[in-house]
Chain A
Amino acid sequence: MAHPDVSRIGGAMNGLPLLDDRMRRLLLESTQETLYMVMWSALIAIAVGLPIGILLATTQRGGILAFPPVAWTLDFLVNIGRSLPFIILMVAIIPFTRAVAGSSIGTRAAIVPLAVAAIPFFARLAEGAILEVDRGLIEMVQAAGGTTWQVIAKALLPEAVPALVRGATLTVISLIGYSAMAGVIGGGGLGDLAYRYGYQRFRGDVMIATIVVLVVLVQGVQWIGNTIANRLQRR
């Protein structure tokens, strides 16, 4: 497809405040699709990434579960996941997506690559959050006769929670960005809407509306994340 003349988008902006009903419905649907993809992939990323992050932080040399081969392996895998641009990862794992979601096309299917990309992302953030916890607290639980599990459950995790919430916030925001690319595999969502209507059909109003929704979404997520993290911080 030839690139359209970008300057023509400006001409269509005249109708901006007056998105017709169909467009409004499309915008609403796309927002819901984005939220659906982002929320599910974020939940999966946190559920899978957190244990990986814990293992990354605790199996390193000097950690409470010190077992470097596990740390090296996870580190290597996480680096692979982090080194692929999302658009490439998404296409590269299509067979896997098909195996997991039954299809490689659609909003539901898009959750798979989104989660796959976000797992190593959140795992790294979780690792950092846990490594930030004062080592003295680990020794305190050990000195009180606590098990390794109690060290994790009563000191490392609770003390890392504010940083983990910040990491989760960052993950959700990154996923909102990634999800825009999910349109490529028919994932729908705001990115898809902006591309198909705003760009390909020169609907500047749709483009602007999409941007507004995305900005509001990101601001809202960041605000909620900050509020929760600050409330949990207690310092």
Chain B
Amino acid sequence: MIEVDRVSKVFGRGTSSVSALDDVSLRVDRGEIHGVIGQSGAGKSTLIRCVNRLETVSSGTIRVGGEDITRMHGPALRRARQQMGMIFQGFNLLSTRTVAANISLSLEIAGMPRAERRTRVEELLRLTGMTSRGDAYPAQLSGGQKQRVGIARALATSPAILLSDEATSALDPATTGTILDLLRSLNRELGLTILLITHEMEVIRRICHRVTVLEHGAVMESGAVSTLALRAESRVSRALFGTPQKDASDPQLHVVVPVDGEHAVAPLFAELSRRFSVEPRVVKGAVEAVGERPIGQFVLAFDPGVSEEPVRWLTRTYPGSVVL
């Protein structure tokens, strides 16, 4: 659905130039929620803005639905943009228009006749749970309600793709949750493809199928969220469970073992005991719901004199393990 191929973006020229994106490639499949995570300044905002050409790439191509958006101009570009909705951190609602009129805006731009617009706006108010607020002005809404209006407006023309630029970053945790739930249900019910950027792993954990980690404009890792969460040394895993650490003076051997919550954990200990007669202590253990799949991580401590076999068996059976 979206193919970003070796995209670089440099702002400015000569010695004062800043590289925002460095040879970035990623794929977003149809019906997928793909999260791009990174700290501020990592280039994620530039990346999403290149996808609908609010920003022009310096090199590389971006294909949306097979068409190269980096080469589009004028009416073709505007038509392509109408196939992608976008929601923003700051909501970007027109303060002088009512909720209904704000939603209607993208329909006006798409050239829909007035009578049809009214019915469509009604549908969208229902879809986003804003039915009773159509006549309100944005100033009368809470942050969460404003973002619902933003979502309704973005989806008004029934685009196949939704771009989300830090859509929940200005919201409190509870409201963030309801907006993420809304995005997930839109993804499921409408088959909406979502490319979102965020600096919060929480957003990735809750609704994203796949994730791309961006650092200093470059892709550090990319893949299914659950796959990365099951690799202890991945950035995703470290963001979810914390970076595994051990005092250098500690003579014990620590093994960080990611476990898939869909499999039983008990056999791990049973096997260690049966095969190698070792019984490690659990130093730390946590389980996080990744999407709806529980993924956990144990840090197991072995006594200093432990033989290599149980540790080797452990890292083989649980390939994402790390020995400290």
Instruction: Give the Cβ gap from B89 to chain A, nearest Cβ, in Å.
Output: 9
Which residues of A lie under 8 Å from residue B78 when comparing CB positions?
Answer: 145-147
Q: Does A234 lie at the interface of the complex (its beta carbon under 8 Å from any beta carbon of B)?
A: yes
Which A residues are CB-close (under 8 A) to B92? 134, 136-137, 139-140
Binds B, one of A53-61, A78-86, A154-162: A154-162
Q: Tell whether A158 pairs with B106 under 8 Å between CB atoms, given A145-B82, A147-B78.
A: no
Classify the secondary structure of B's interface with A. Answer: mixed
A150 lies within 8 A of chain B by Cβ:
yes
Cβ–Cβ < 8 Å partners of A154 in chain B? 94, 105, 108-109
CB atoms of B95 and A144 under 8 A apart: no
A234 to B135, CA, bound (A): 12
Across chains A and B, the number of contacting residue pairs, with CB separation under 8 Å, is 68
Asked if B96 and A159 make an inter-chain contact with CB atoms under 8 angstroms apart, the answer reads: yes
Q: Which residues of B contact A147 (CB under 8 A)?
A: 78
Nearest CB in chain A to that of B54: its residue: A139
Contacts of B157 in A (CB 8 A): 144
- On chain B, the number of residues with a Cβ less than 8 Å from chain A's Cβ atoms is 28
A143 is contacted by which of B52, B97, B137 (Cβ under 8 Å)? Answer: B52
- The answer to whether A235 has its CB under 8 Å from any CB of chain B is yes
A212 to chain B, nearest CB (A): 37
Complex: A162 Cα to B139 Cα, angstroms: 15
Chain A residues whose C-beta falls within 8 Å of the C-beta of B106 in the assembled complex:
144-145
Q: Are B97 and A134 in contact (CB under 8 A)?
A: no
Check B79 for interface membership: any CB of A closer than 8 A: yes
Of B84, B109, B139, the residue contacting A146 (CB under 8 A) is B109
Establish whether residues A235 and B79, one from each chain, have CB atoms under 8 Å apart when the complex forms: no
Q: Does A232 contact B (CB under 8 A)?
A: yes
B88 at the interface (CB under 8 A from A): yes
A144 x B82 contact (CB < 8 A):
yes
Structural contact, A144 and B94, CB atoms closer than 8 A: no
List chain B positions with a Cβ less than 8 A from chain A: 52, 54, 78-82, 84-86, 88, 90, 92, 94-97, 105-106, 108-110, 137-139, 153, 157, 163
Interface residues of A (CB under 8 A from B): 134, 136-137, 139-147, 150, 154-155, 158-159, 161-162, 232-235
In the assembled complex, 8 residue pairs joining A and B whose CB atoms fall closer than 8 Å, in A order, are A136-B90, A139-B54, A139-B88, A141-B105, A143-B84, A144-B86, A159-B94, A235-B137
